[in-house]
Amino acid sequence: MLSTRDDRVLRATRILSAVIIPFLVVASVLLVVLPTQTDVTFAWTIRPPLTAMLLGAAYVGGIWFFTVVCLARAWHLVWTGFPAVVVFATLLGIATLLHVDRFHAGHPSFIAWAALYATTPFAVLAVLLVNRRHDDGRPDAVDAVIPRAWAIALATVGGAASLTGLVLFTLPQLLIDVWGWALTPLTARVVGAVLTLPGAVGVWMLADRRWSSFRAIIAAQLASLAVMIAALAVRAQDVDWTRPAAWLFATAIVASAAGYVAFFLTMERRTSGRAPRSRPRPASRSTSTG
């Protein structure tokens, strides 16, 4: 029996997060620091290097997020990142199956990649479903409610990014010829998977408007966006700036970063302005975990 106040991060969730982090750290170094050497260091050759860095940016956000999960005192502080991870990992697993001939068979990086994406979608979904039952839906003692306007705006922007990502993933040939830099069907699907992340987070703001539920994942997204902006600056030569899509993508990334920073600071000010209050214990309610 668990009380409705039992909002803990389960041990299995912490262990899974701790197992995932080293994979993300190694991949981030290979993709962000050594993006021109994927032909010898990574699971498959990624060209141009900009695409490698964008995938690495997603992993940097993942490192931030899963580190917070390992340290978090409560499940509701991190749960909103898990649906996004399920979608992202599932799409990359499917992309691997569709383009397995493009990978470096037998390479240690491919073995690690295959192991990660054969198991992560199922393992993350499992801990999401089990841990979700422990959240009573109440805000922290010091918390803030996300304004409806912010929730709708971020859900809309994230939805647009996710829609673009899903089109890239399901119909890569439709956008390859107009995209801002060279893509193959595999890299189009990888970029598409990265673009689904904001929508898979933002949509939950329409249901859970506790700032405490989003603080960690928004910080992780800001880390990813910072690396993406750096990638665009460092690998500007990879971009075909004569294409409108290149300017649209770059503008969207910079605008998203500015918007997320404004949102983060706004919510932090709202939270710091609230005095701590006690959370009354329910008189006699209890929940069975089965």
One-character DSSP codes across the chain: -B-TT--PPPHHHHHHHHHHHHHHHHHHIIIIISGGGHHHHSSB--SSHHHHHHHHHHHHHHHHHHHHHHH-S-GGGTTTHHHHHHHHHHHHHHHHHHTGGGB-TT-HHHHHHHHHHHHHHHHHHHHHHHHHTT---PPPSS--BPPHHHHHHHHHHHHHHHHHHHHHHH-HHHHHTTSSB---HHHHHHHHHHHTHHHHHHGGGGT--BGGGTHHHHHHHHHHHHHHHHHHHHTGGGB-TTSHHHHHHHHHHHHHHHHHHHHHHHHHHHHHTSPP---PPPSS--B---
Total tally of structural domains belonging to the chain = 1
Q: What integer pLDDT is reported at residue 273 of this predicted model?
A: 66
Q: What integer pLDDT is reported at residue 285 of this predicted model?
A: 39
Q: What integer pLDDT is reported at residue 155 of this predicted model?
A: 96
Domain carrying residue 151: 11-272
Whether residue 227 lies inside any domain: the answer is yes
Whether residue 187 lies inside any domain: the answer is yes
Close Cβ partners of 81 (under 8 Å, ≥ 6 residues apart): 65, 69, 201, 216, 217, 220
Q: Mean pLDDT in runs of 10 for the chain (290 residues)?
A: 64 97 98 98 98 98 98 94 98 98 96 96 95 77 94 96 98 97 98 97 95 97 98 98 98 97 97 58 38
Q: What integer pLDDT is reported at residue 274 of this predicted model?
A: 63
Task: For CA atoms 83, 142, 268, 16, give the dihedral sign.
Answer: negative
pTM of the model: 0.91
pLDDT tens, position by position, 103-142: 999 999 999 999 999 999 999 999 999 987 767 777 888 8
Whether residue 186 lies inside any domain: the answer is yes
Close Cβ partners of 132 (under 8 Å, ≥ 6 residues apart): 75, 79
Whether residue 285 lies inside any domain: the answer is no
Whether residue 37 lies inside any domain: the answer is yes
Whether residue 281 lies inside any domain: the answer is no
Half-sphere exposure of 202 (CA within 13 A, CB side): 26
Whether residue 279 lies inside any domain: the answer is no
Whether residue 2 lies inside any domain: the answer is no
Kindly state the tokens that stand for 12.
């299995």
